[in-house]
Amino acid sequence: MSEPIVTQRLLFPDLFDRPLVAQFDQRASSVDTGALLLKAADRRLGLTAALADCIDDDRQPGKVQHDLQDLLAQRVFGIACGYPDGNDGDRLADDPVHKLLLDRDPFEGQPLASQPTVSRFENAVSTKDLYRMGASLLDTVIERHRKRLRRKVRRITLDFDPTDDPTHGAQQLTFFNGHYDCWCYLPLLGFITFNDEPEEYLFAALLRPGNAPAKLGFLGLLWRILERLTVRFPKARVLVRLDGGFASPEILDFLDAAGVEYVVAMAKNEVLKARVEASMDEARKASESSGQTEHVYGELSYATTTWSHERRVIFKAEVVRHPGREPKDNPRFVVTNLRLQPRRLYERVYCGRGDAENRIKELHHGLEIDRTSCERFWANQFRVLLTAAAYVLMQEIRLAAKRTELARAQVSTLREHLFKLGGHVVRSARRLVFHLPAAAAYREAWARIALALGARAG
Q: What is the mean pLDDT of residues 111-118?
A: 94
Q: How far is CA 211 from the centre of its chain?
A: 22
Q: Which of 25-34, 57-66, 107-116, 382-391 has the lowest mean pLDDT?
A: 57-66
Q: pLDDT at residue 7 above 90? A: no
* Amino acid (1-letter code) at residue 17: D
Q: What is the mean pLDDT of residues 446-451?
A: 96
State the pLDDT at residue 150: 86
Handedness of CA 50, 412, 420, 88 (dihedral sign): positive
Q: Which domains does the chain have, with CATH numbers?
A: 27-126+379-452 (no CATH), 153-373 (3.90.350.10)
Q: What is the mean pLDDT of residues 271-286?
A: 95
Rounded to whole angstroms, how far apart are CA atoms 97 and 100?
A: 5
Give the chain's radius of gyration (CA, Å).
26
What pairing do the DSSP bridges indicate for beta strands 328-329 and 294-302?
Answer: unpaired
Handedness of CA 61, 63, 65, 70 (dihedral sign): negative
State the pLDDT at residue 80: 97
State the pLDDT at residue 25: 77
State the pLDDT at residue 5: 53
* Amino acid (1-letter code) at residue 126: S
- 163 within 8 A of 189, measured Cβ to Cβ: yes
State the pLDDT at residue 1: 41
State the pLDDT at residue 161: 94
Q: What is the mean pLDDT of residues 74-93?
A: 93
Q: pLDDT at residue 183 above 90? A: yes
Q: What is the mean pLDDT of residues 437-456?
A: 94
Average of per-residue pLDDT values in the chain: 93
State the pLDDT at residue 355: 85
Predicted TM-score (pTM) of this structure = 0.94
Rounded to whole angstroms, how far apart are CA atoms 283 and 287?
A: 6
State the pLDDT at residue 181: 93
User: Per residue in 20-64, pLDDT tens?
Assistant: 888 887 888 999 999 999 999 999 999 999 999 999 998 888 888
- 425 within 8 A of 29, measured Cβ to Cβ: yes
State the pLDDT at residue 244: 86
